[in-house]
């Protein structure tokens, strides 16, 4: 297949134009100007809000004037990742695409089909004379990837339609009708340090090379949390020995399941061999519990230069609180089987140089009130030990509505076209739709799109045949919607 054979031609033509326009997150000026020029050249009304979101509108085609206004939406920015040997300036250079069998890929970079293919479909809807449609509002949002900034700052009233189709999903044949809201809870506790007596033997213990993953999408995949694993060992050891807690460093990103954690503890000299045996037994128990963690690696070695440790009572409180704090799935959805409704992730635990324990946790739920409750539950054990806990404002979720009229049209048209039911799903992570639902109460939304794999990495690829499938589906929705 070569480029000129791609279907629908107009969509792929626009996609190749878009890929010549640099658009890293937070640097969307060029793509905004490109869309403004496109609107002007085609005589279409266009406005840009203070946040940089763009809205291009088009009236109904003849005979379709009584159809409701439909909003299509995609985000303008892209994640700019490349292979180590690829030389590119993402702020100035184009993305170079090529066809690899049934996939479209980019040379050593992210492809930007997330969400450039959505932009291209909207541009084609706005200019393809053969498409019959009611009034159209095409919304292009800014900076989805690094903070949902455009959606956060979108003004209520910027668009008027009651139906919104978000084109930022990655599995053809799946219709998304909900997402999770989230907030981080951060915990701080000044450490009370005391001298470590010479009769104690310091040990450095570590668990690493766990799978990790996204703290929303992957929270139900039985991935081990490195912080939890290490705390569990220390708690067990405290039952048997007079363990001193010296240091703890685990996890990194607030939205990732931690892959590694390390601690320094100390035990009385006579126990140093026993605890080594216990650690080896513990490691094999964890390996048996988590057969999916194929690469997990444990090690224990003597530590040097240790002169102080956390005071006994506080060390015990810290370990018990970390042991007690909820981590992982908390509740599954009743409405959508298989969907995680509420969860929390113990993302990072660090003792700082100025002797403060800093913990970052993140809570998610598709129900706002449950997310707030989850943050309180996570805070509780730390409040009990006198730590300060602060839950951020976070971002809202999008509660699935299985009775949505838009969803009925979207599924019925899909069945009519393809003779099978699409999967109706929600995701346990944030989408811009959560913010739209907060600003436009009553807005009826779905999210779908062609199949993408490897997004946010240089392996990003677009399954070419699914673009036409989604395109045909959109045309059928526009014809049918009431």
Is residue 247 at the binding interface for Zn ion, with CB under 5 A as the rule?
A: no
8 A C-beta contact, residue 447 and residue 169: yes
> Least CB distance from residue 195 to Zn ion, whole Å?
53
Q: How far is the CB of 470 from Zn ion (least distance, A)?
A: 15
Annotate each residue in 61-100 with x if it binds Zn ion (CB under 5 A) or - if it does not, as one string.
Answer: ----------------------------------------
CA-nearest of 339, 450, 457, 464 to 398 is 339
Find the binder of Zn ion among 28, 77, 114, 137 (CB under 5 A): 114
Q: Is 77 tagged catalytic?
A: yes
DSSP string spanning 366-386?
SSHHHHHHHHHHHHHHHHHTT
Residue found under tokens 């309180």: 376
Structure tokens at 433: 């739709």
Question: Minimal distance in Å, beta carbon 115 to Zn ion?
Answer: 4
Query: Any contact of residue 170 with Zn ion (CB under 5 A)?
Result: no
Whichever of 237 and 463 has its CB closer to Zn ion, that residue is 463
- CA-based Rg of the chain, rounded to a whole angstrom? 26
* From 3-11, 96-104, 115-123, 350-358, span contacting Zn ion (CB under 5 A): 115-123
Binding mask 272-311 for Zn ion (x = CB under 5 A): ----------------------------------------
Interacting span for Zn ion (CB under 5 A) from 119-127, 165-173, 241-249, 461-469: 165-173
Distance CA 252, CA 167 (A): 31
168 scored as a contact of Zn ion (CB under 5 A): yes
Cα 89 to Cα 96: distance, rounded to the nearest angstrom: 12
Number of residues that bind Zn ion (CB under 5 A): 3
Q: Which residues of 458-480 are buried (b: 16+ CB within 10 A; e: fewer)?
A: bebbbbbebbbbbbbbbbbbbee
Q: Are 189 and 357 in contact (CB under 8 A)?
A: yes
Stretch that binds Zn ion, among 161-169, 170-178, 229-237, 278-286 (CB under 5 A): 161-169
Helix 312-324 × helix 226-240 angle, to 10°: 130
CB closer to Zn ion, 427 vs 443: 427
Q: How far apart are CA 20 and CA 40, in angstroms?
A: 19
Q: Which of 114, 137, 143, 144 is catalytic?
A: 144
CA distance 199 to 187: 33
Q: How far is the CB of 401 from Zn ion (least distance, A)?
A: 22
Active site residue 403: no
In a 3-state reduction of DSSP, which class is residue 86? Answer: coil
- 389's enclosing H/E stretch is strand 388-391
Q: Would you say 112 or 250 has its CB closer to Zn ion?
A: 112
Q: Is the dihedral of CA 219, 24, 121, 165 positive or negative?
A: positive
Q: How far is the CB of 75 from Zn ion (least distance, A)?
A: 6
CA distance 377 to 379: 5
Active-site choice (28, 77, 115, 432): 77
Q: Return the structure tokens found at 221.
A: 């995949």
Query: How near is the Cβ of 97 to Zn ion at its closest, in Å?
Result: 17
Tokens found for residue 438: 């907060």
Shortest Å, Cβ 331 to Zn ion: 27
**Token pair belonging to 229:** 């694993």
Q: Between 115 and 271, name the residue whose CB sits nearer to Zn ion.
A: 115
Rounded to the nearest whole angstrom, what is the least distance from the CB of residue 114 to Zn ion in the complex? 4
The window from 48-56, 113-121, 419-427, 434-442 that contacts Zn ion (CB under 5 A) reads 113-121
Find the part of the chain contacting Zn ion (CB under 5 A) among 7-15, 111-119, 180-188, 202-210: 111-119
Name the one range near Zn ion by CB under 5 A: 168-176, 216-224, 248-256, 375-383: 168-176
Q: Which of 12, 19, 55, 115 touches Zn ion by CB under 5 A? A: 115
| Token pair listed for 57 | 């509108």
Pair of tokens at residue 174: 């799946």
Residue number with CB closer to Zn ion (52 or 202)? 52
Q: How many residues make up the chain in this entry?
A: 482
Residue closer to Zn ion by CB (options 168, 438) is: 168
- Contacts with Zn ion by CB under 5 A lie at 114-115, 168
Catalytic residues: 77, 144
């Amino acid at each position: 297949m070569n480029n000129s054979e791609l279907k629908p031609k107009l969509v792929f033509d626009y996609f190749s134009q878009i890929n010549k326009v640099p658009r890293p997150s937070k640097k969307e000026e060029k793509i905004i100007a490109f869309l403004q020029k496109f609107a002007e050249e085609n005589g279409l009304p266009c406005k840009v809000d203070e946040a940089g979101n763009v809205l291009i509108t088009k009236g109904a085609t003849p005979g379709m004037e009584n159809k409701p206004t439909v909003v299509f939406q995609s985000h303008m920015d892209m994640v700019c990742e490349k292979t180590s040997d690829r030389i590119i300036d993402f702020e100035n250079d184009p993305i170079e695409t090529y066809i690899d069998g049934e996939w479209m890929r980019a040379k050593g970079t992210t492809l930007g089909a997330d969400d450039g293919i959505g932009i291209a479909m909207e541009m084609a809807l706005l200019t393809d004379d053969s498409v019959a449609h009611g009034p159209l509002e095409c919304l292009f949002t800014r900076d989805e990837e690094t903070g949902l900034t455009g959606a956060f700052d979108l003004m209520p009233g910027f668009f008027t339609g009651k139906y919104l189709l978000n084109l930022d999903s990655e599995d053809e044949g799946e219709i998304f009708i909900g997402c999770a809201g989230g907030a981080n809870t951060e915990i701080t506790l000044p450490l009370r340090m005391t001298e470590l007596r010479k009769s104690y033997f310091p040990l450095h213990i570590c668990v690493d090379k766990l799978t990790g993953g996204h703290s929303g999408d992957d929270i139900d995949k039985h991935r081990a949390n490195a912080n939890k694993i290490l705390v569990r060992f220390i708690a067990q050891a405290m039952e048997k020995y007079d363990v001193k807690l010296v240091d703890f460093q685990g996890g990194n990103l607030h939205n990732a399941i931690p892959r590694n954690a390390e601690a320094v503890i100390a035990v009385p000299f006579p126990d140093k061999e026993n605890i080594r045996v216990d650690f080896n037994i513990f490691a094999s128990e964890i390996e048996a519990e988590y057969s999916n963690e194929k690469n997990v690696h444990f090690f224990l070695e003597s530590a040097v230069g240790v002169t102080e440790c956390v005071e006994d009572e506080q060390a015990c409180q810290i370990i018990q609180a970390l042991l007690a704090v909820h981590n992982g799935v908390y509740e599954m959805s009743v409405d959508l089987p298989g969907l995680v409704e509420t969860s929390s992730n113990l993302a990072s635990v660090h003792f700082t140089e100025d002797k403060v324990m800093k913990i970052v946790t993140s809570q998610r739920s598709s129900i706002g009130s449950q997310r707030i409750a989850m943050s309180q539950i996570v805070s509780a054990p730390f409040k009990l030990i006198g730590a300060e806990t602060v839950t951020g404002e976070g971002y809202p979720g999008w509660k699935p509505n299985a009775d949505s009229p838009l969803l009925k049209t979207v599924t019925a048209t899909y069945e009519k076209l393809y003779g099978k039911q699409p999967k109706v799903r929600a995701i346990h992570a944030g989408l811009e739709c959560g913010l739209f639902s907060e600003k436009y109460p009553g807005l009826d939304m779905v999210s779908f799109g062609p199949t993408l794999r490897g997004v946010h990495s240089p392996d990003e690829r677009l399954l070419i045949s699914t673009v036409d499938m989604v395109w045909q589906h959109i045309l059928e929705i526009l014809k049918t919607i009431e």
